Amino acid sequence: MAATNICRLTIPLSVNTQQQNSQIHTKNFSSSSSFSFSCKPTSFLHSSSSITTSSTTLFSEGRKRHDNGLIVCKAVTTTTAAGAGAGGGGGTQSKDIDAGQDRLLKVPISNIRNFSIIAHIDHGKSTLADKLLQVTGTVPKREMKEQFLDNMDLERERGITIKLQAARMRYVFENEAYCLNLIDTPGHVDFSYEVSRSLAACEGALLVVDASQGVEAQTLANVYLAMENNLEIIVVLNKIDLPGAEPDRVSQEIEELLGLDCTDVIHCSAKEGIGINEILDAIVKKVPPPPETAEKPLRALIFDSYYDSYRGVIVYFRVIDGTIRKGDRVQFMASGKDYYADEIGVLSPKQLQVDELYAGEVGYLSASIRSVADARVGDTITQYGKKAANSLPGYKEATPMVFCGLFPVDADQFPELRDALEKLQLNDAALKFEPETSSAMGFGFRCGFLGLLHMEIVQERLEREYNLNLITTAPSVVYRVNCLNGDSVECSNPSALPDPGKRKSLEEPYVKIELLTPKEYIGSLMELTQDRRGEFKEMKYVTENRASIIYELPLAEMVGDFFDQLKSRSKGYASMEYSFVGYRESELVKLDILINGERVDPLATIVHKDKAYAVGRALTQKLKELIPRQMFKVPIQASIGAKVIASEALSAIRKDVLAKCYGGDITRKKKLLKKQAEGKKRMKAIGKVDVPQEAFMAVLKLEKQVL
Long-range (24+ apart) CB contacts under 8 A made by 631-635 are: 631/680, 631/683, 631/687, 632/680, 632/681, 632/683, 632/684, 632/687, 633/680, 633/684, 634/595, 634/596, 634/689, 635/594, 635/595, 635/596, 635/597
499 is in an annotated binding site: no
Least trusted range by pLDDT, from 37-51, 131-145, 298-312, 417-431: 37-51
Q: Which amino acid is at 153?
A: D
Ligand-binding annotation for 186, yes or no, is yes
Q: What's the rounded Cα separation, in Å, for the pair 604 and 584? A: 22
Give which of 623, 684, 624 is closest to 654, Cα–Cα: 684
> How far is residue 229's CA from residue 223's CA, in Å, rounded to a whole number?
10
* 78 or 398, which is more confident: 398
pLDDT of 554 strictly over 60? yes
Task: Give first-to-last CA distance, the chain, whole Å.
Answer: 68
User: Of 19-28, 142-151, 396-405, which gets the smallest average pLDDT?
Assistant: 19-28
Q: Please check if 205 is assigned to a binding site.
A: no
- Please, what is the Cα angle at 299 between 293 and 300, to 5 degrees? 105
- The number of beta carbons lying within 10 Å of the beta carbon of residue 420 is 22
Domains 106-286 and 299-383 share a fold: no
Is the predicted pLDDT of residue 230 greater than 60, yes or no? Answer: yes
In this prediction, residue 188 carries a pLDDT of: 67
Q: What is the mean pLDDT of residues 57-86?
A: 36
φ, ψ dihedrals at 153, nearest 5°? -60, -35
Please tell me the class of the 106-286 domain: alpha beta
Which residue did the predictor score with more confidence, 698 or 337?
Answer: 337
User: Domain residue spans in the chain?
Assistant: 106-286, 299-383, 402-473, 480-586, 589-704
244-256: b or e for each residue (b if 16 or more CB lie within 10 Å)?
Answer: ebbbebbbebbee
Report CA torsion sign: 451, 453, 455, 457: negative
Higher pLDDT, 491 or 50: 491
Query: Which tens digit of pLDDT belongs to each residue from 629-684?
Result: 776 678 888 998 888 888 888 877 766 667 677 777 778 778 777 877 776 665 55
CB 344 within 8 A of CB 365: yes
The pLDDT value given to residue 80: 32
- Is 551 buried (19+), middle (13-18) or exposed (0-12) by CB count in 10 A? buried
Judged against a pLDDT cut of 70, whether residue 462 lies above it is answered with yes
SS3 call for 649: strand
Helix (H) or strand (E) holding 580: strand 575-586
Q: How far apart are CA 430 and CA 46, in angstroms?
A: 57
Rounded to 5°, angle at Cα 177 from 358 and 328? 15
Query: Given this model, what pLDDT does residue 245 score?
Result: 84
- Taking domain 299-383, whether its CATH number is 2.40.30.10 is answered by yes
Q: Does 188 count as an annotated binding residue?
A: yes
**C-alpha to C-alpha distance for 684 and 207, rounded to whole angstroms:** 67
pLDDT over 60 (residue 357): yes
Q: Is 66 annotated as a binding residue?
A: no
125 is in an annotated binding site: yes
CA angle 304/309/313 to nearest 5° reads: 30
Among residues 338, 291, 290, the alpha carbon closest in space to that of 180 is found at 290
Name the residue with higher pLDDT: 426 or 686.
Answer: 426
**Position with higher pLDDT, 105 vs 555:** 555
pLDDT of residue 72: 38
Question: Average pLDDT, whole number, for the chain?
Answer: 75
pLDDT band at 551 (very low <50, low <70, confident <90, very high): very high
**∠607-609-614 over CA atoms, to 5°?**
75
Higher pLDDT, 89 or 229: 229
At the fourth CATH level, the homologous superfamily of domain 402-473 is Elongation Factor G (Translational Gtpase), domain 3 (3.30.70.870)
Cβ atoms of residues 6 and 33 within 8 Å? no
Is the confidence at residue 529, as pLDDT, over 80? yes
Query: Among 69-78, 393-402, 585-594, whose mean pLDDT is lowest?
Result: 69-78
CATH architecture of the domain with range 589-704: 2-Layer Sandwich (3.30)
Name which of 42-46, 158-162, 349-353, 695-699 the model is least confident about.
42-46
- Look up the pTM and report it: 0.65
Was 646 annotated as part of a binding site? no
Instruction: Write 223-226 long-range contacts (CB < 8 A, 24+).
Output: 223/118, 223/258, 223/260, 225/118, 225/192, 225/195, 225/196, 225/199, 226/116, 226/118, 226/199
Q: Is the peptide bond before 349 cis (omega within 30 degrees of 0)?
A: yes
pLDDT of residue 695: 65
Check pLDDT > 60 for residue 18.
Answer: no
Q: CA 445, CA 438: separation in Å to the nearest integer?
A: 10
Question: Is there a binding annotation on residue 531?
Answer: no
> Nearest 5°: phi and psi at 550?
-115, 125
**Nearest-5° Cα angle at 173, 171 to 179:** 35
Q: Where would I find the beta strands (DSSP E) of 244-390?
A: 266-267, 299-308, 312-321, 323-325, 329-332, 338-340, 343-347, 351-354, 356-358, 362-369, 380-383
Among 106-115, 255-264, 374-383, 559-568, which stretch is predicted with the lowest mean pLDDT?
Answer: 559-568
Q: Report yes or no: 324 and 330 within 8 Å, Cβ to Cβ.
A: yes
Total Cβ atoms within 10 A of residue 480: 16
**CATH class, range 480-586:** alpha beta
Q: What is the pLDDT of residue 151?
A: 58
Kindly give, in sequence order, each residue whose CB lies less than 8 Å from that of residue 187, ignoring residues fewer than 6 positions away: 118, 119, 120, 121, 122, 123, 125, 160, 161, 218, 222
How far is CA 533 from each of CA 516, 536, 588, 703, rounded to the nearest angstrom?
Answer: 19, 10, 13, 18
CA angle 541, 544, 547 (to 5 degrees): 30
Looking at residues 471-484, what average pLDDT do you find?
Answer: 82
Query: Any binding-site annotation on 534?
Result: no
